[in-house]
Amino acid sequence: MVSVMKNDLMERVVSLCKRRGFIFQSSEIYGGLASAWDYGPLGAELKRNVKNAWWKAVVHERDDIVGLDASILMHPNVWKASGHADNFSDPFIKCSACQKYFRFDKVWEEVSKSPWYISLAKVMEGSKDTRDFFKWAKGVGKSLCPNLALVKEPEVTVSWIVESVENRDYLKTNFREFISRLAADQNGINRTPCPQCGNALPDQGVSANLMLRTSLGPVEETAEKVYLRPETAQGIFVNFLNILDTTHRKLPFGVAQIGKAFRNEITPGNYTFRTREFEQMEIEYFINPQDAQRCHEDWITERFNWYIRLGMKKENLRLRPHGADELAHYAKGCTDIEYNFPFGWSELEGIANRTDYDLKQHAQHSGKDLRYQDLVTLEKNFPYIIEPSGGVDRATLAFLVDAYHEEEVNEATRVVLRLSKELAPIKVAVLPLLKKNDGIVELAKRIKKDLQKDFVTVYDDTAAIGKLYRRQDEIGTFFCVTVDVQSLEDKQVTVRDRDTMAQDRVPVENLRKYLTEKFSIGPA
């Protein structure tokens, strides 16, 4: 295994995704739309496989969950009841110099990761006296953060720093205060510096609702203003009665849904990780309040294991319970499943105990009785809701990053996408050894036609066999079937395993059976 540095890993995955048609920038021929992405032929297959694996695990393989596909546009009162109309906002601040927006609550996190801070921290590590500050301010600082007070007026700023720095560990122990001092204004008052350019940022955030708005109807003035849903969950809550009435479910039971959601994120980024249009996979699991705590714990375990069952490395996953200050207004508890992305541990999925908040809110706003009636005691109560809520795009990105693998083979680098059998976009590639031999080509095409009934199969004759193998390896194709001259005589083909590169000679007539057995998950 060639070890790929973390910084390089993201770049290599992004480059592979573009080169091989997993992910393209949206509207690329017009210069692209920031943070919007299109899934290409292989990406569409992979994303579909992620969603199918989720649906299979949470709907088809269980007795207690049914599916739903609700509309993106909903009655505006839904968002009043849910709290989104009033509370769904992230205060932001805008840098008056570089015009970039930052989330007010995340700006210090961004400062600590900014190139200028990292560079300055290195200088500080080995620094002996204030001359190092001047040197940095007049050199690297000028190019990385031209608007930082230390860079614009080093003499004044350094004199203030000298007053406050008592010992060499100051940067570590008083990070915010120290960095605020570097950005201090003319009056010597500490300020928060812009992570991008160092300029002093405003002290207060401005609140902005994160929902995207659109209008229904052809005439703008009379059109009804509606929102593109910011989560799929509400479609489930407002259908609670419909589902109860049509399926006669008893508690506990769940409703699962996959669909698009939209949020006017202030700082989208990290490739497909945070975007303004994305897909969610959400379950709302209705349960008696007294069983909610145990059920919450069970779902955390179940969802964590789902990623591992699909091949994700356990050491790249962790659980992070939310602190009380992080909990959404409706939640009693929430635990995130995080993945160790090249840009740091970040949320893949949140599993929340939403209590009876949502049904109560909708009952109050709609005037409908949304309580569940126990068929034995005839008592009516609002059930609690446990909600495992994951992102399709984030899961897909994590599976891609996790599967990316490089190794040296015959003094060349072999890139392999070690996706699981369930997730690999292409299961089998049929490759003719000689593309000018009509017999070989005809047999190869016949085999492809036969296999594609059971497996996602491609035919490729556009390069020499070694190159064709490498191309299939880097997109994660599980098996390559090669048809050669000998095949025409003995009616056998070579089947090559992606991971071991071991080759088996298999009779053409047994090929489907052979592959079905290899894909123990059954035909894809």
Binding site for ligand GAP (CB under 6 A): 231, 233, 263, 265, 274-275, 278, 280, 282, 347-350, 387, 389-391, 393-394
Our CB check for ligand GAP shows the closer of 133 and 278 to be 278
* Residue 380 β-bridge partners: 373
Our CB check for ligand GAP shows the closer of 399 and 519 to be 399
How many helices and strands (H and E) does the chain possess?
A: 21, 22
Our CB check for ligand GAP shows the closer of 26 and 437 to be 26
Three-state DSSP at 495 gives strand
Distance CA 128, CA 134 (A): 12
Our CB check for ligand GAP shows the closer of 197 and 397 to be 397
Whole-angstrom CA distances from 221 to 73, 215, 216, 224, 227 are: 19, 9, 11, 9, 17
Our CB check for ligand GAP shows the closer of 393 and 484 to be 393
Amino acid at 219: V
Q: How far is the CB of 234 from ligand GAP (least distance, A)?
A: 8
Our CB check for ligand GAP shows the closer of 36 and 97 to be 36
Q: How far is the CB of 233 from ligand GAP (least distance, A)?
A: 4
> Can you read off the two tokens belonging to residue 56?
């299979």
Q: Which residue is nearest to ligand GAP (CB)?
A: 391
Distance CA 400, CA 428 (A): 19
Q: How far is the CB of 387 from ligand GAP (least distance, A)?
A: 6
Q: How far is the CB of 88 from ligand GAP (least distance, A)?
A: 9
Q: How far is the CB of 30 from ligand GAP (least distance, A)?
A: 22
Distance CA 366, CA 178 (A): 52
For 322-422, where are the E strands, in sequence order?
A: 333-341, 344-355, 372-373, 380-381, 384-391, 404-409, 412-417
Our CB check for ligand GAP shows the closer of 85 and 508 to be 85
CB 424 within 8 A of CB 477: yes
Q: How far is the CB of 6 from ligand GAP (least distance, A)?
A: 21
Q: Residues, the chain, total?
A: 524
Three-state DSSP at 246 gives helix
> Can you read off the two tokens belonging to residue 54?
């989720």
* Residue 37 β-bridge partners: 25
Our CB check for ligand GAP shows the closer of 279 and 484 to be 279
Our CB check for ligand GAP shows the closer of 150 and 233 to be 233
Long-range contacts of 115-119 (CB under 8 A, 24+ apart): 115/144, 116/140, 116/141, 116/144, 116/145, 116/148, 116/198, 117/179, 117/195, 119/144
Q: How far is the CB of 50 from ligand GAP (least distance, A)?
A: 12
Q: How far is the CB of 304 from ligand GAP (least distance, A)?
A: 13
Q: How far is the CB of 353 from ligand GAP (least distance, A)?
A: 12
Our CB check for ligand GAP shows the closer of 278 and 404 to be 278
Whole-angstrom CA distances from 86 to 78, 190, 210, 268 are: 12, 33, 10, 22
Distance CA 262, CA 268 (A): 12
For 244-326, where are the E strands, in sequence order?
A: 253-262, 277-287, 317-321
Our CB check for ligand GAP shows the closer of 227 and 459 to be 227
Q: Which residues 6+ apart lie within 8 Å of 193 measured at CB?
A: 111, 145, 148, 149, 179, 180, 182, 183, 199, 200, 201
Q: How far is the CB of 388 from ligand GAP (least distance, A)?
A: 9
Three-state DSSP at 287 gives strand
Q: How far is the CB of 475 from ligand GAP (least distance, A)?
A: 23
